[in-house]
Amino acid sequence: MRVARVREVMQREGLDALLVSSAADIFYLCGYHTFEVSVHAALVVTDTHTLLQVASIETGAAVVTAKVDELVSYRWEAPEEVIGPLADALSGCRQVGFDGLGSGLRAGVLQRLQARLGSERFVDRTAAVMAELRLVKSSRELACLERSARMTDAGLTSALDMVAEGVHDNEVAAEGARTMLAAGSEFFSLGPIVTTGARSGLIHVNHKRHVIARGDVVFLEFGAVWQRYTAPCMRTAIIGQPDDEMSRAAELCRRLQQRLCDAMQPDASFEEVARMAAEELVPWRDTLFHSGVFGYAVGAQFPPSWVEGTGFIASGQQRHLAKDMVFHLPLCLRSPGRWGIGLSHTVRVTERGAVPITRHDGQLVIR
């Protein structure tokens, strides 16, 4: 079904072949998955044939999980061997779509294919084709995201129960991970994030054996995995009472959440929704940091991130929302060097706006 859909889009785009190099996109189209996503893998889709190329050590996983017409392997220790089979598979194709900005296609692979077949054959269209297919979720995908959300909620609840003065941030992360894994989570696309005190005011740092102290803000962001689908969520606890700035930041997160959900109607553009949210932040732009991305699509994904990469609620993004798109709304407001308050949900777009599929009350947890 998915390969048939991608062929319809390819025909419309004038593509004879699609070179797919993202682990998540390959999984989406043919089912192949492995936790070893650092080695080259590629899927070639033409109008009549699918070819999956994997490292020799991954052949077993490919045989068990992938549904393709042809499977070829190369020696793990000899990546130069990938070029010949790919060139053969693409030799009769006049227009080949590839993903020029994704992390999956190595520059050396593309350069050698272009040198052998001619650079004029290659057009940077794979990411756009896959986004068109993946952004709107099927009923089965929505069910997977719901299962992930329940495990994510459970992990956050148990981790928050661990938060106390004198506890290490690693202990909090470990309890959350244990709960999500025990509930059935697969290997994480991105492991549990726990930061404390001033470190909670920095984006993309993580637990590092820090002891939680009186007055600390403790920021948590988790995402459990069901059939590779992740519904992330942020929660925040405070050891003691929040000051007025913290309380206002938490209230702003809640207000942004509601305004975004109200605005995320089908046919609204990603950019106009982001502009509305950015206007809400104008009075705070000199004191609070926000990434500028108010939502990113989530779905099936592999390490190192649960971000699907197919769509962002942000400035300059011209796509339009549609029913059954699913986004994480990463609403974390940081006072750099002091603290960060994050209260987020993963939401599903409905005909009347977005509704959360993760569950919490949006309040700071006081310890």
pLDDT in tens, the chain (367 residues): 899 999 999 999 999 999 999 999 999 999 999 999 999 999 999 999 999 999 999 999 999 999 999 999 999 999 999 999 999 999 999 999 999 988 889 999 999 999 999 999 999 999 999 999 999 999 999 999 999 999 999 999 999 999 999 999 999 999 999 999 999 999 999 999 999 999 999 999 999 999 999 999 999 999 999 999 999 999 999 999 999 999 999 999 999 999 999 999 999 999 999 999 999 999 998 999 999 999 999 999 999 999 999 999 999 999 999 999 999 999 999 999 999 999 999 999 999 999 999 999 999 999 9
Token pair for residue 100? 């020029």
**Cα 198 vs. chain centroid, distance in angstroms?**
26
Q: Do the bridges between strand 70-74 and strand 233-238 make them parallel or antiparallel, or are there none, so unpaired?
A: unpaired
Could you tell me the pTM of the whole model? 0.96
CA distance 367 to 4: 53
Question: In this structure, are residues 298 and 307 in contact, taking their beta carbons and an 8 Å threshold?
Answer: yes
Q: Is the CB of residue 131 less than 8 Å from the CB of residue 125?
A: no
Q: Which two tokens stand for residue 164?
A: 């106390």
Structure tokens at 323: 């029913």
Dihedral angle, C-alpha 19, 22, 25, 30, nearest 10 °: 70
Dihedral sign for Cα 56, 58, 64, 69, please.
Answer: negative
Compute φ and ψ for 308, nearest 5 degrees: -70, -35
The pLDDT assigned to 102 comes to 85
pLDDT of residue 332: 97
pLDDT at 1: 87
The pLDDT value given to residue 103: 81
Burial class (CB in 10 A: 0-12, 13-18, 19+), 97: buried
Q: ∠ CA 135-138-144 to the nearest 5 degrees? A: 100
The whole-number pLDDT of residue 104 equals 87
User: How many C-beta atoms lie closer than 10 Å to residue 58's C-beta?
Assistant: 23
CA 187 – CA 223 distance, rounded (Å): 10
